[in-house]
Structure 1
């Protein structure tokens, strides 16, 4: 309370960009590039009410701590592991800080392949973004989630949309044959509730990220020869989420957001010539605005999310 008002406050540093290179790991260099946000929940109310800055952790100190902790990681560490390391440091090092929240987005540098062999020190920029959000309280309580952004998926067939609500404003025809494309944004929350519950090596969050991405893509596409029919983006989203939870018992919940990026079959016509050119499921107009938006969270019954 301050002067009869309730105040919720925190402070930190955003968009701290840091890159770490580990040399000669399994025959080649390894690089990561992270964009780090840190927020501290701390007892520094006098800074707001009376200009007393004695309890504020300077955001310059927060930024420099990110660099120092990256340097101290002599062994390869996952993005989630680094976020836990930072949050644990800030929540324990400063007496006035009750909790620290760390968000990181990883730039997707991928090793290049030259003449069929992985290059020892050459990388190219990929597309899918790996994300994490970690909160550690002074008592060690933990909230940990990982995610993916910009996972672009497309099928040229094996998709339809029928039986939906029709009213006086509906123009969309029903179909059992259409293209379907989306850019998946997903986050999944781990069941670990205390830093002591986080498995040590050989558990690897980076590999888990790759595995979850593969499960979602495999469920979307189906087998390489026959595929799998999608009656709606909603159904496909549910099957993707369910496949992840069925595979990994330590994931408590998963959220997916899947915009329906339209590919509209083209037909050229005019008033004088209504059948100028008819395309037979081969020429389309890509449309990403406006687009349908479908999202849902699938949780285990005991999940708090």
Structure 2
């Protein structure tokens, strides 16, 4: 006899841009918001009874309205996500809500030798991510994150003395290009006073660790990045990384009569090694609903 398992629904990728005109120079908050609701919605699946269903159009409208109603909270995705999550758990049949936000940074354009107060360019460096989960009984979990942060070091990276068998062809190396595109999420066991400042400190800690660590493996560098993040931000209970190894292969230029002492490479986009891991404090509780069910990273 079939039974209905876990379900959820909502509105995905609501693109909302708020221009802050109450300051001069102007500021931009640019978010991509996805909301998922779960709770007492079985009837719509089993019998087509929609009487408990908050429409996904209403979810979209709420996100857009809160870009105005939430005031300064919209500037900070963690606070914006909390405002939305608290609203949706006020709907009686909603037992849990998950708000996921991608935040796109903008930088000011220069004009006449100085930043223009009203002109911007989208900064393509990386995307800030946020996930807020709230239950109807008031439980709240906030994770911050980053994706698309591409980093590379041209030396100080080795990889050797690895396990070998009949299919192993990779040569050992004591000097290689190491590059990755960081996707990371960190759980705030204790909320910081300033999410924006905390986010900046985490990015600084992880990139400083990547730059300064003499690496014997990307796995070792992942751990060092996590250690330095936890040291820089005491309220973080756990940080997760997904690090694709963006391979750079030395090109053979000898057919052209050229030597290539580690200078010219082919950047190969696939296949790639994928290194994933978690660094957590040994005295923090399980993060529970902080991370997406079934999604380790």
Query: TM-score surpassing 0.5?
Result: yes
Q: Does 1:262 align with 2:250?
A: no
Question: Which residue number corresponds to residue 260 of structure 2?
Answer: 279
Residues of 2 paired with 1:46 and 1:20: CA distance?
37
Q: Deviations over 1:62-87 (max 9, x none)?
A: 11011111111333531110011001
- Runs of 4+ with >6 A deviation: none
Please list, as runs of the form range in 1=range in 2, the aligned pairs for 1:162-241 lying within 5 A after superposition: 162-192=160-190, 198=191, 203-222=193-212, 228-241=213-226
Question: Which residue number corresponds to residue 299 of structure 1?
Answer: 280
Structure 2 alignment gaps of length 5 or more: 288-297
Indicate conservation of the 8 Å contact 1:154/1:179, yes or no.
yes
Question: Which residue number corresponds to residue 73 of structure 1?
Answer: 70
Structure 1 position 251, deviation (Å) = 0.6
Indicate conservation of the 8 Å contact 1:253/1:298, yes or no.
yes
Residues of 2 paired with 1:299 and 1:31: CA distance?
34
Q: Does 1:55 align with 2:38?
A: no
SS state at 1:95 partner: coil
Write 1 or 2 for the structure with the bigger share of strand.
Answer: 1
Indicate conservation of the 8 Å contact 1:266/1:278, yes or no.
no
Residues of 2 paired with 1:171 and 1:180: CA distance?
19
Q: Deviations over 1:28-86 (max 9, x none)?
A: 11101111111111212222222211111011111101111111133353111001100
Residues of 1 paired with 2:160 and 2:112: CA distance?
47
Q: Does 1:119 align with 2:116?
A: yes
Bigger CA radius of gyration: 1
Indicate conservation of the 8 Å contact 1:257/1:295, yes or no.
yes
Q: 1:112 to 1:88 in 2, by over 3 A?
A: same
Indicate conservation of the 8 Å contact 2:201/2:233, yes or no.
no
CA root-mean-square deviation = 1.9
TM-score, reference length from structure 1: 0.87
SS state at 2:272 partner: strand
Q: Deviations over 1:96-132 (max 9, x none)?
A: 1112111111122223344653321222122200011
Residues of 1 paired with 2:37 and 2:186: CA distance?
23
Q: Give the number of equivalent residue pairs.
A: 284
